[in-house]
Structure 1
Amino acid sequence: MKIAFVGKGGSGKTTLAALLARHLAAAPDRPSLLAVDADINQHLAAALGADERSTRPALGDHLAEIKDYLRGDNPRISSAAAMVKTTPPGRGSRLLTVAGPNPVYDLAVREVGGVRLAVTGPFAERDLGVACYHSKVGAVELLLNHLVDGPGEYALVDMTAGADSFASGLFTRFDVTFLVCEPTVRSVGVYRQYLGYARDHDVRVHVVGNKIVDESDVDFLRSHVGADLLTWFGRSDWVRAAERGQVLPLDALEPANHAALRLLRSSVDSTEKDWQRYARQAAEFHRRNATAWANDRTGEDLAAQIDPGFVLGDQLVH
């Protein structure tokens, strides 16, 4: 399953994404897990226990190599340079699995706090005034487009705050989207904005309340998000320590918050995989991007990259 964490800046989505990643990594059934930090602020590694000053190889710095590998022998793609963030896979493309191994993971995946992690890379000084962060996040979209995740496998992505993920089809690349929401008017406003964009694209959104102090906070969220409220996390010494850079043992988490974690995983596990929808939406947003800008940039009709009838699925991985 592909999982996204979204929400208002400061809502705690990175902390909860790290918490679920650690919960999955420590599960007795040892599921395969790949975590990806696609947030411009790049704090997921620190939330998993890494030193903030440490550096990791970034997907965004290896985009040319990633394109060259994923292209494979796909005859519909003239060159790696003709690949854009929305380019879908087809016959001849190289596909990725969650556990690997493959050259992409060799380049940009490292273990942090027991979790295999890839990062897009921060918005660097050299990017100022000449680039946008979406160019870095494009590496994540390509990765997800070519990723075949089977039963008991998870790709978990900490997305950039707010509605920036709607700049392409990235928001449709997930089986489940957890929207982290504080009991505040501003946080609920981000929920409404996100749901407004996602409503017409079969995006499964579960609201996860955070920083809940008492029942009035839960009542506030219920009054604004209704049945979309899946569960919530209360005020937590564990989370407070994590937000200050101190990662405590997972068994120190409060029982009620542990129960919320288990509910997150069970909601993911009960979601039905829909590869047909995944392929249909990949083609839809690739056509949109091709028409809007990519055809002019590459000098090609990139809609021709779409391989009719090609659908990702377990049967394609050997």
Structure 2
Amino acid sequence: MKIAFVGKGGSGKTTLSSLFVRHLAARGTPVVAVDADINQHLGAALGLDESESAALPALGAHLPLLKEYLRGSNPRIASAEKMIKTTPPGEGSRLLRLQEDNPVYDACARAVALDGGDVRLLATGPFTESDLGVACYHSKTGAVELLLNHLVDAREEYLVVDMTAGSDSFASGMFTRFDMTFLVAEPTRKGVSVYRQYREYARDFGVALRVVGNKVQSADDIDFLHQEVGDDLLVTFGHSDWVRAMEKGRPHPFAELEDDNARSLAALYETADATYELRDWGRYTRQMVHFHLRNAESWGNEKTGADLAAQVDPSFALGEGPRKAATPQPA
């Protein structure tokens, strides 16, 4: 299952991402966590100290390795240099599984010990001084998009991505790569503005979206969120002494998380798990191809000097079982 946490900067999406990762680990569910935000804080939220967080390898810096590994023996891809962030898999491509060992995880993932066991953590890498004025942050998150395009995941295993803040998530097709997107919103007008943008952008692509209210202090806050987002509101989180202690570097056992907040995490899991029945690998593949062709025409062909539309294998559809050709349909 592929889960995204999005929201306005400062809404608490990184905190809730980390709590959901802990909830999964406590259940014994295999989980890979990805920090894809321009501000890299997921490692710290999962308990790493400053030096440990700084030592995380940058996934974006290993993009050549990722491309070469995923390319495999796909005859439609002449070289790793001809791959872009949207390149879809085809016959001969290597696919990724969440619980396997492979060179990409060896180079880029680090184990983080939580109450329920170790989880794998990947980080895109921070926006550095050398990037200023010459690169956009989406050049880094492209590594995550490529990973998602080649990932074959099952029901009782999770990839949880802490996405970049605000509507920047829509600067790529990555927003369509998830089974469930949880939008974290504070009970303020600014807090729900990102929800409105996300709802409008996501509607045409069938993105499953639920709102998680955060920093809720009263019944009036809950009423406000209900009025603004309606039935999309799933659960709310209030003040947490457990989180505050964690942020002070004085972590308590996860079992001591407040009951209300623990129940909200359980509701997130139940909602995410239920989306498995709605999973449509054919649509997933068509959307992948849709965004690849758009990127190829917009900038990819010129950058690589190749016709990247030729990378699309029309007989290939990503999926857990035997692969069938993807029926041509609108994305």
TM-score of Structure 1 vs Structure 2, range by shorter chain: over 0.9
How far apart, CA to CA, are the structure 1 residues paired with 2:255 and 2:267?
17
Within 5 Å, which residues of 2 pair with 1:90-169? 90-113=90-113, 114-169=118-173
How far apart, CA to CA, are the structure 2 residues paired with 1:83 and 1:205?
30
How far apart, CA to CA, are the structure 2 residues paired with 1:5 and 1:277?
22
Which residue is 1:285 aligned to? Answer: 291
How far apart, CA to CA, are the structure 2 residues paired with 1:183 and 1:104?
40
Shift of 1:236: 1.2
Which residue is 1:189 aligned to? Answer: 193
Corresponding position: 1:230 with 2:226: no
Stretches of structure 1 lacking an aligned partner (at least 5 in a row): none
Asked if structure 2 preserves the Cα contact closer than 8 Å seen for 1:47 and 1:245, the reply is no
Amino acid at match of 1:234: G
Choose from 310, 317, 320 the match for 1:314. 320
> TM-score, length-normalised on structure 1?
0.97
CA RMSD in angstroms comes to 1.2
Larger deviation, residues 307-316 vs 292-301: 307-316
Figure out how many residues of one structure are paired with residues of the other and give that number: 315
Shift of 1:115: 2.0
Shift of 1:83: 0.5
How far apart, CA to CA, are the structure 2 residues paired with 1:238 and 1:304?
52
How far apart, CA to CA, are the structure 1 residues paired with 2:248 and 2:12?
12
Larger deviation, residues 112-121 vs 82-91: 112-121
Shift of 1:7: 0.1
Which residue is 2:218 aligned to? Answer: 214
How far apart, CA to CA, are the structure 2 residues paired with 1:303 and 1:274?
23
Amino acid at match of 1:63: L
How far apart, CA to CA, are the structure 1 residues paired with 2:315 and 2:97?
21
How far apart, CA to CA, are the structure 2 residues paired with 1:9 and 1:52?
21
> TM-score, length-normalised on structure 2?
0.93
Within 5 Å, which residues of 2 pair with 1:226-305? 226-271=230-275, 272-305=278-311
Shift of 1:151: 2.1
Which residue is 2:9 aligned to? Answer: 9
Corresponding position: 1:77 with 2:77: yes
Stretches of structure 2 lacking an aligned partner (at least 5 in a row): 324-331
Deviations 1:134-167 (A, max 9, x none): 1110000000100100120111000000011111
Amino acid at match of 2:38: I
Asked if structure 1 preserves the Cα contact closer than 8 Å seen for 2:111 and 2:121, the reply is yes
Shift of 1:304: 1.1
Amino acid at match of 1:36: V
How far apart, CA to CA, are the structure 1 residues paired with 2:315 and 2:20?
35
How far apart, CA to CA, are the structure 1 residues paired with 2:213 and 2:165?
16
Larger deviation, residues 3-12 vs 47-56: 47-56
Shift of 1:316: 5.8
Shift of 1:234: 1.3
Identical aligned residues as a percent: 63
Amino acid at match of 1:107: A
Specify whether residues 266 and 50 from structure 1 end up closer, same or farther in structure 2 by C-alpha distance, changes over 3 A only. same
Amino acid at match of 2:197: Q
Which residue is 2:32 aligned to? Answer: 34
How far apart, CA to CA, are the structure 1 residues paired with 2:260 and 2:29?
23
How far apart, CA to CA, are the structure 2 residues paired with 1:163 and 1:243?
27
Which residue is 2:20 aligned to? Answer: 20
Larger deviation, residues 185-194 vs 51-60: 51-60
How far apart, CA to CA, are the structure 2 residues paired with 1:198 and 1:152?
25
Task: Specify the SS of the correspondent of 2:215.
Answer: strand
Deviations 1:82-137 (A, max 9, x none): 10010111110000001111110000010123321000000111111111111110
Which residue is 2:57 aligned to? Answer: 57
Shift of 1:245: 4.3
How far apart, CA to CA, are the structure 2 residues paired with 1:284 and 1:243?
41
Which residue is 2:45 aligned to? Answer: 47
